[in-house]
């Protein structure tokens, strides 16, 4: 049985391709229509413009703060009157007060009569480098090394003997180390007490303890009494229980 239609002449075979091409053409045409712009045409009248030049008057600039001009000078007439000398004026003569070699010396002082006073220097030497350390009462007659050890021992015994923990510091729970620095002057007295610690209450108590030190035999440097500085730590510590 033969087919009735020629397969080469079948139109519906490429219908999808034709549809796509037609769709693209319609979209292109629609886009062109949307983007098309028109402008209103206005009638512009061109006339002749005549400009007349105006005369501008220049106004001078005046500064209001300018001072007025000075007045003209006034001619001064000098009237000279001649007066005869009636009284004689005595001139004051000023004599020079400079002393020259011709002036006499009232009193001659001989060199033998001049007395030179020795001024004691307030020298302060540290305890670690002093030649002869201060002698604490009870450390007399010892060598230099033993006298130094005896001094340190007596200082510790003195601190333990006079130590009192302040009640106010106990109530507030204050404790810590107080460093006390003082000096033993050339006469053996304790001076210049300074302290540094965690609280003023402990510092005051530490200074009180050092202030009770007795008079000592002063330290010597090169055979002369001098001021000797010394530092001692005092520990304030309590046990809770």
Q: What pLDDT, in 10s, does the model give residues 160-199?
A: 999 999 999 999 999 999 999 999 999 999 999 999 999 9
Query: pLDDT tens digits, residue range 117-133?
Result: 655 567 889 999 999 99
Residue boundaries of the structural domains of the chain: 124-236
| Buried-state track 151-160, b at ≥16 Cβ within 10 A, e below 16 | beebeeebbe
Statement: 124-236 belongs to CATH 3.30.2420.10: yes
Categorize the per-residue pLDDT at 42 as very low, low, confident or very high, splitting at 50, 70 and 90. Answer: low
Which residue, 37, 226, 36, is CA-closest to 127?
A: 226
Cα–Cα distance for residue pair 135/120, rounded to 1 Å? 22
Q: Is 188 exposed, middle or buried, given 0-12, 13-18 or 19+ CB atoms closer than 10 A?
A: middle
**Could you tell me what percent of the chain has a pLDDT over 70?**
62
Give the three-class secondary structure for 220.
strand
pLDDT on residue 78: 57
């Amino acid at each position: 049985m033969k087919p009735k239609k020629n397969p080469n002449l079948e139109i519906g075979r490429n219908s999808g391709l034709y549809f796509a091409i037609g769709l693209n053409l319609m979209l292109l045409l629609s886009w062109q229509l949307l983007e098309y712009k028109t402008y209103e045409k206005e009638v512009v009248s061109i006339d002749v413009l005549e400009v007349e030049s105006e005369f501008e008057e220049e106004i001078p600039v005046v500064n209001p703060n300018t001072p007025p001009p000075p007045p003209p000078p006034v001619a001064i007439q000098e009237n000279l009157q001649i007066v005869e000398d009636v009284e004689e004026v005595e001139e004051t003569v000023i004599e020079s007060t400079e002393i020259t070699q011709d002036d006499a010396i009232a009193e001659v002082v001989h060199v033998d009569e001049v007395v030179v006073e020795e001024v004691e220097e307030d020298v302060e030497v540290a305890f670690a480098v002093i030649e002869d350390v201060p002698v604490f009462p009870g450390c007399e007659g010892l060598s230099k090394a033993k006298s130094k050890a005896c001094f340190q021992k007596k200082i510790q015994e003195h601190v333990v003997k006079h130590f009192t923990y302040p009640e106010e510091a106990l109530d507030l729970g204050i404790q810590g180390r107080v460093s006390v620095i003082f000096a033993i002057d050339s006469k053996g007295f304790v001076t210049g007490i300074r302290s540094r610690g965690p609280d003023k209450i402990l510092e005051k108590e530490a200074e009180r303890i050092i202030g009770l030190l007795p008079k000592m035999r002063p330290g010597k440097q090169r055979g002369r009494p001098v001021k000797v500085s010394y530092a001692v730590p005092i520990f304030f510590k309590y046990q809770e229980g």
